[in-house]
Structure 1
Amino acid sequence: MKKIVTYVCVALFGAVALSGSLQAGTDKELKAFEAAIKEKYDLKVKAFAENDADTIADKFYSEDVVSVDPSGKVTLGREALRKEYEHIVPTATVSIESVHTFVDGDAGWDWANFHVTPTDPNEKPFTFIILFLWAKENGEWICKGDQYVVGEL
Structure 2
Amino acid sequence: MKTKVIMGMLTLLLVGGGYWGLSAAEQLTSDGVTIASNNSSENPPKEYTEPIIDDWEGLQVSVQWEKQDKISSQRFLIGINNHAVDVDNFDFLQNVRVQLDNKEIPVKVQVLEKNGSGHHSSAELQVESPEFTKATAGSIMTLSVSNVYDTPTRNFMWKFK
TM-score for the superposition, normalised by structure 2? 0.30
Structure with bigger helix share is 1
Structure with the greater alpha carbon radius of gyration: 2
